[in-house]
Chain A
Amino acid sequence: MTHVKPSSARLRLRFTRRFLLGTASVLTLLTAWVVLTMVTGTISTSRFPSPLQFWQSAKQIVTVGYADATLVGHALHSTRLVVIGFAVAVGIGVPLGLLMGWSRRAEALINPAFLVIRPIPPLAWIPLAILWLGLGDAAKIMVIFFAAFVPAVINTFTGVRAIEPPMIEAARMLGTGRWRLLIEILLPAAAPMIFTGLRLSLQASWTTLVAAELVGALAGLGRVLNMAQQDIYPAMVMVGMAAVGGLGWATTRLLAEVERRAMPWLPG
C-alpha cells in the first residue's frame, strides 16, 4: 500500500514490473498447456484440446467451415442478431426510461407492470421464444430484446431521476421548450447512466444469444458450440468459446468508443 504519492520513477518501475509479471504469467500458462497436453499427456486431449488441435480446428472452421458455415459466417449471423435485438430494445427502452423518469405519473402507471417482467431472467424466455417462434432468427431477437430491454429502462430512469432539480428549474426559468429541455438538459445529464445501461444491455444480449443458440439454432456461434459438444470435439468447443469472447470484447470496446465520443466533456 502506498500512502505517499509515488514518484514517476517508482511509477515506471511499477508498470514495468506489472508488464513483466503479466507476460510471465500468460507465458507460463501457455507453456504448461503445451507440455501437459502434448509432451507428458497428463491432460487427456479427449477432454481438453492441445494447442495444435486448437490451431487445426481454428483453421478448419475458418477455411472449410463447420456446422454449415465458416467462422466468419457464424460470427456475422450472431452479430447481426445481437445488433437487431439490442437496437430494438434500446430504441424502446431508453425513451420509456426517459418518460418514466420525467413524469411521476407515467412511472406510477408503467412501473407495476414492468415489475412483473423484470425479475424473470432473460434466459428463462428461451423456451417460450422457441414455442412461439421456432428455432429461427425471430425467436433469438425476442430473447435478446427481453435481455437488453430491462437494463436500458432501469438505468435511463435512474439517470433522469438523479438530475439535480435546480438544473431543470434554471432551464425552465430561461424559457427552454420541452424538446430543447429533453435534448439539451435531460439526455446529456443522464447520458453516463444511459451508457452504463447500454453496456449491461449489450453484455446481456451476447450471453442470452449464445444460450439461445446453444438450446437450438440453425446457425451462429452458439450452434458451433452445440455441434462441437455433440460431436465430442473439445478443440472446436474452445474455438467457439474464443470467438464468443473475442466478439464480446470487440462489441464492448466499440460501445466504449461511442461512449467516449458521445460524452466529450467527461475525463478519460
Chain B
Amino acid sequence: MASPSQRPPSKLEVFVLGFIGLAGFVGLWLAASTSGYVPRQFLPTPFDVLARAIHLLTSPFAGATLPVHLARSLERYACGVALAAAIGVPLGLAMGWYRWLDDIVTPVFDGLRFIAPIAWVPFAALWFGTGIGGPIMIIFSGAFPPCLISAYRGARFVDSKYIEAAQMLGTSNLRTVAEVLLPASFPSIVAGLRVGAGLGWQSLVGAELIVASAGVGYMMVQGQSNISTPTVMAGMLAIGLVGLLIDVALRQMEARVRRRRGLA
C-alpha cells in the first residue's frame, strides 16, 4: 500500500525474495560458525542444532528426553493458564457488573500489576517449592492480568439495551451475569485468553530457567552449564515451535468465535 508508485510485487517475487532473505540468514549463520573465528562449540551450525534436536527426541538429557521435558512443561502450563482463566474471567465479569467490587479490587490490582511476573519467583519457590507449584504460580501471575482485564472490559462495554431488556424481564443479578454478560463479552474474553496464554508461555520459560527441576527451560539451563550450545538452541527451537502452535490454535478459536458472532 504505502508507496503507490511502486508496482506491488508478484507472488513469485515475494516467494523468491523471502527465500533469498532466509537463505541469507542461514548462510550468514553457517559462514560465521564454519569460518573458525567463533569456536564451533559456541556457535554450532543450523544443521548441528537440528541434529541435536532430533537426537534429543530419543536420548535423554538432564534426566529426560525432549518430548518428556516438553510434556512436563505443558502440564504446568495448562494448570497455570487454567487457574488464571478460572479466577480472572469470573472476577473480571463481576467487577464489570458490580461497581463496588471494581472500586475495591482495582487499586490493589493496579498496585501489583507493575511487578513483573518473574519477580514472584523467590516467593513462588518459598511458598510452593520448585516442583510443580512454584512454576504454576509464575505462569498464573503472567496469564492472570489479561484474563481479568479482557473480561472486565467485555462486561463494561456490553450494549446496555441487552441488560435493560433482561432487567425489565426481572432477571436476577447472577443470571444476568451468566446469561447476558458472559455471552456478550465472550469475544473480548477469548482475545484476552489468547494474550494471557502467550504471556503464560513466556513466564513458564522464565520460571523453568530459575526454579524448576524438569521441563524445557531446565533442560536449557543444564545445557548452558554443560556448555552444550546445540542443546540450548534446540530448546529455543522447541519452545518457539510450541509457542507458535499454541498461538495459531488460539487465533483460530478466536476467529471462529468472532465469525459466529458476525464480528469478522
A177 interface contact, C-beta 8 A: no
Partner among A112, A160, A161, A234 whose Cβ is within 8 Å of the Cβ of B21: A112
A226–B121 Cα gap in the complex (Å)?
9
A28–B114 Cα gap in the complex (Å)?
21
Q: Which of chain B's residues 94-138 have a Cβ closer than 8 Å to chain A? A: 99-100, 103-108, 111-112, 114-123, 125-127
A105–B17 Cα gap in the complex (Å)?
7
Please determine whether A123 and B205 come into contact, CB atoms closer than 8 angstroms.
Answer: yes
Select from chain A the residue with minimum beta-carbon distance to B15: A108
Report whether over half of chain B's contact residues are helix, strand or loop; otherwise say mixed: helix
A113–B29 Cα gap in the complex (Å)?
12
Residues of chain B within 8 A (CB-CB) of A131 are: 42, 224, 227, 229, 232
A225–B13 Cα gap in the complex (Å)?
52
Q: A225-B119, A225-B122, A234-B126 are in contact. List 9 more A-B contacts (CB 8 A).
A: A22-B106, A25-B107, A25-B108, A102-B3, A120-B243, A215-B209, A229-B121, A237-B122, A245-B112
B206 interface contact, C-beta 8 A: yes
B239 interface contact, C-beta 8 A: yes
24 A-B pairs in the complex with CB atoms less than 8 angstroms apart: A1-B158, A1-B164, A18-B103, A104-B9, A105-B13, A112-B21, A121-B243, A127-B209, A127-B220, A128-B224, A131-B229, A160-B2, A161-B1, A163-B2, A165-B2, A165-B4, A168-B2, A186-B2, A207-B117, A215-B221, A225-B122, A241-B123, A245-B116, A249-B114
Please determine whether B100 and A128 come into contact, CB atoms closer than 8 angstroms.
Answer: no
- How close is B216's CB to chain A, nearest CB, in angstroms? 9
Please determine whether A123 and B202 come into contact, CB atoms closer than 8 angstroms.
Answer: yes
Q: Which of chain B's residues 1-41 have a Cβ closer than 8 Å to chain A? A: 1-6, 8-9, 13-14, 17-22, 24-25
Q: Which of chain A's residues 124-155 have a Cβ closer than 8 Å to chain B? A: 124-128, 130-132
B160 interface contact, C-beta 8 A: yes
Question: Known: A108-B18, A109-B17. Is A225-B121 also a contact (CB below 8 A)?
Answer: yes
Please determine whether A22 and B121 come into contact, CB atoms closer than 8 angstroms.
Answer: no
Residues of chain B within 8 A (CB-CB) of A69 are: none
Please determine whether B3 and A47 come into contact, CB atoms closer than 8 angstroms.
Answer: no
Please determine whether B6 and A104 come into contact, CB atoms closer than 8 angstroms.
Answer: yes
Interface residues of B (CB under 8 A from A): 1-6, 8-9, 13-14, 17-22, 24-25, 42, 99-100, 103-108, 111-112, 114-123, 125-127, 158, 160-161, 163-164, 201-202, 205-206, 209-210, 217, 220-221, 223-224, 227, 229, 232-233, 235-236, 239-241, 243-244, 247
Please determine whether B122 and A172 come into contact, CB atoms closer than 8 angstroms.
Answer: no
Interface residues of A (CB under 8 A from B): 1, 3, 14, 17-18, 21-26, 29, 47, 101-105, 108-113, 116, 119-128, 130-132, 160-161, 163, 165, 168-169, 172, 186, 206-207, 210-211, 214-215, 225-226, 228-229, 232, 234, 237, 240-241, 244-246, 248-249, 252
Please determine whether B21 and A124 come into contact, CB atoms closer than 8 angstroms.
Answer: no
- Among A104, A163, A249, chain B packs the most CB atoms within 10 A around the CB of A104
A128–B239 Cα gap in the complex (Å)?
14
Report whether over half of chain A's contact residues are helix, strand or loop; otherwise say mixed: helix
Select from chain A the residue with minimum beta-carbon distance to B2: A102
Please determine whether B243 and A110 come into contact, CB atoms closer than 8 angstroms.
Answer: no
Ranked nearest first, the 6 interchain pairs of A and B with the lowest CB-CB distance are: A229-B122, A21-B103, A108-B17, A127-B224, A113-B25, A245-B115
- How close is B157's CB to chain A, nearest CB, in angstroms? 11
Please determine whether A21 and B116 come into contact, CB atoms closer than 8 angstroms.
Answer: no
Select from chain A the residue with minimum beta-carbon distance to B1: A165
Please determine whether B229 and A128 come into contact, CB atoms closer than 8 angstroms.
Answer: yes
- How close is A187's CB to chain B, nearest CB, in angstroms? 13
A228–B126 Cα gap in the complex (Å)?
11
A43–B114 Cα gap in the complex (Å)?
25
Residues of chain A within 8 A (CB-CB) of B9 are: 104-105, 108
Residues of chain A within 8 A (CB-CB) of B210 are: 211, 214-215
- How close is A242's CB to chain B, nearest CB, in angstroms? 8
Please determine whether B18 and A127 come into contact, CB atoms closer than 8 angstroms.
Answer: no
- How close is A141's CB to chain B, nearest CB, in angstroms? 18
Question: Known: A119-B240, A124-B235, A229-B126. Is A248-B4 also a contact (CB below 8 A)?
Answer: no
Partner among A14, A110, A214 whose Cβ is within 8 Å of the Cβ of B118: A214
- How close is A148's CB to chain B, nearest CB, in angstroms? 14
Select from chain B the residue with minimum beta-carbon distance to A4: B160
A123–B114 Cα gap in the complex (Å)?
18
- Among A18, A211, A246, chain B packs the most CB atoms within 10 A around the CB of A211
Select from chain B the residue with minimum beta-carbon distance to A181: B3
Residues of chain B within 8 A (CB-CB) of A237 are: 122-123, 126
